[in-house]
Amino acid sequence: MPDIRLEQVSKVYPGGVTAVDAVSLDIRDGELMVLLGPSGCGKSTTLRMIAGLEPITTGRLWIGERLMNEVDPKDRDLAFVFQSYALFPHMTVAGNLAFGMRIRGVPRAEAGRRLQEVAATLGLTELLERKPGQLSGGQRQRVALGRALLRDPVAFLLDEPLSNLDAKLRAGMRTELIKLHRRVGRTMIHVTHDQVEAMTMAERICIMRDGRIVQVGAPMEVYRNPADTFVAGFLASPPMNLLDARIEPEGAGALVIAHGLRVPLPGALPPGPVTLGLRPEEVTLAPDGAARIALDTVTQAVEALGPEVILVGALGDPRGPEVSWRMPRDFTAAIGQPVRLWLDPTTVRLFEAKSGVAIALSWPKP
Ligand SMILES: Nc1ncnc2c1ncn2[C@@H]1O[C@H](COP(=O)(O)OP(=O)(O)O)[C@@H](O)[C@H]1O
Ligand SMILES: [Mg+2]
């Protein structure tokens, strides 16, 4: 199957809103790519341009070697699943599933066999004679997916297909989609504003903001090395702590200083203001023998989540900036109590104070 390639694709809606701004993205054959970003950042518009449901204002869309800009949606061989999965209410599940194949004139026996196969894959076999009104949200969702699967398309385009489901069902369907992707091996472009969904499902995440791509990469790559403070603040919950800080020279190297916290940095960095990024999961309660830096947090709240505890507090002293840390599940502290934590300096991230763009740090290899 061919790759899907966007080349400087922009969308300006009538009225002048630039919804997508010069987006270039290469989606590989068979890949599960997640478009992630806050509401209004241009995810749906991007997907709809790939599907052909929305004309491209400027730029090029390729599927393999073929330029697709002017190709009719029905000739693109893509299956689209929307947030609100429109099923025919008067038809049974079987009727809904079979509809597309009937239109395309798939022979009856083959259509029946494939329908049974897909129904089994999605756990719909028992529901084939029901009408959509007799199904739960998750079941309707699976029927919509089944219909897409029966098209055997070049790629599946999924626009927030899980956002209408409750949390438990959503987690289950997430797993189902991952398994399904592995089984059918087809390209999937999945749109979501939910960072957990993106982290768990994606082979690569494409993070968008204000119509532009901010970063593309494997989930852990993006988590470890966010391209800027927007990505750092968007992924994971609680997200990276972002603190106003400054760099000062120290001997042959430099220090980053944030409200009394002093972290040594590798190499000589130019002095001045920066944003310091500390992941909540990168501190420990014991120094662990390694070259760790002590850091005090004055407890403001202790949130027990079951598997872990979130400590929310002020860095350094009661007037320090707010920080959140992930603690082991048996952690407790009283409000107002200072807690000493230990930070591995190689885990800190720096960003330019004004632009928020990441500053590369090169720690010597251990
Ligand atoms: N049909 C439309 N006409 C005008 N503006 C639109 C239209 N559809 C979306 N927009 C605008 O384009 C921007 C991107 O929207 P959208 O692609 O739906 O974002 P997302 O899916 O990330 O929430 C938003 O500012 C939105 O208001
Ligand atoms: Mg949308």
The two three-digit tokens of residue 304, written as one number: 């027990």
The two three-digit tokens of residue 179, written as one number: 């398994």
Q: Determine the residue of 41, 44, 45 to mutate for testing ligand 1's pocket, defined as the one with the most ligand atoms within 8 A of the Cβ atom.
A: 45
Q: Which of 4, 297, 358 lies closest to 153 in space, CA to CA?
A: 4
Tokens of 85: 């999965």
User: What's the pLDDT tens digit per position in 192-240?
Assistant: 999 999 999 999 999 999 999 999 999 999 999 999 999 999 999 999 9
Entry field: residues in the chain: 366
Instruction: Return the sign of the alpha-carbon dihedral for residues 59, 65, 70, 76.
Output: negative
Q: For residues 218 and 207, what is the distance between their CA atoms, to the nearest angstrom?
A: 11
Q: How far are the Cα atoms of 9, 34, 75, 119, 174 from residue 146, in angstroms, in the given order?
A: 30, 20, 20, 7, 15
| Residue 284: partners with Cβ closer than 8 Å, 6 or more residues away | 292, 341, 342, 344
Q: How far apart are CA 314 and CA 305, in angstroms?
A: 20
Closest listed ligand to the CA of 23: 1
What atom of ligand 1 comes closest to residue 11's alpha carbon? 12
**In whole angstroms, how far apart are CA 268 and each of 86, 250, 252, 259, 273?**
59, 8, 6, 21, 15
44: how many CB neighbours lie within 10 A of its CB? 20
CATH 3.40.50.150 is the classification of domain 4-234: no
Give the residue whose CA is nearest to atom 25 of ligand 1. Answer: 40
Q: Can you tell me the distance from the alpha carbon of 159 to that of 155, in angstroms, rounded to the nearest whole number? A: 13
> Candidates 9, 12, 13, 194: which one to mutate for ligand 1, based on the most atoms within 8 Å of Cβ?
13
pLDDT given at position 84: 66
Q: What is the signed CA dihedral for 52, 55, 61, 67, rounded to 10 degrees?
A: 80
In ligand 1, the atom with minimum distance to the C-alpha of 15 is: 4
Residue nearest to atom 20 of ligand 1 (CA): 40
**Confidence (pTM):** 0.92
pLDDT tens-digit profile of 40-98?
999 999 999 999 999 999 999 999 999 999 999 989 989 988 766 678 999 999 999 99
Ligand 1 probe mutation, 10, 17, 20, most atoms within 8 A of CB:
17
As residues whose CB is below 5 A from the ion ligand 2, the structure lists: 44
- The mean per-residue pLDDT over the stretch 178-184 comes to 88
Residue 67 is predicted with a pLDDT of 97
| Alpha-carbon torsion, ordered 14, 5, 33, 24, to 10 deg | -60
Q: Are 246 and 231 in contact (CB under 8 A)?
A: no
How many angstroms is it from 56 CA to the middle of ligand 1?
14
* CB-based pocket (< 6 A), ligand 1: 13, 15, 17, 19, 37, 39-45
Kindly give the pairing relationship between strand 241-250 and strand 4-12. Answer: unpaired
Is the pLDDT at 173 greater than 70, yes or no? yes
- DSSP, collapsed to helix, strand or coil, labels residue 30 as coil
Nearest CA to ligand 1 atom 26: 40
Q: Mind listing the pLDDT tens digit for each residue in 267-304?
A: 889 999 999 999 999 999 988 777 789 999 999 999 99
Distance 20 CA to ligand 1 centre (A): 9
Q: Where along the chain do its domains lie?
A: 4-234, 241-359
Structure tokens at 50: 């790939």
* CATH superfamily membership of 241-359: Nucleic acid-binding proteins (2.40.50.140)
For residue 238, is the peptide bond before it cis, meaning its omega torsion is within 30 degrees of 0? yes
Give the closest residue (by CA) to ligand 1 atom 27. 40
Ligand 1 atom 4 nearest Cα? 13
Dist. CA 141 → ligand 1 center (Å) = 24
Identical fold for domains 4-234 and 241-359, yes or no, is no
116-148: buried (b, 16+ CB within 10 Å) or exposed (e) per residue?
eebbebbebeebbeebbeebeebbbbbbbbbbb
Q: Residue 366 and residue 364: Cα distance in Å, rounded? A: 6
Pull the structure tokens for residue 61: 């869309």
CA distances (Å), 282 to each of 235, 289, 295, 345, in order? Answer: 15, 15, 12, 9
Gyration radius of the chain over CA positions: 25
Average pLDDT, rounded, for the chain: 93
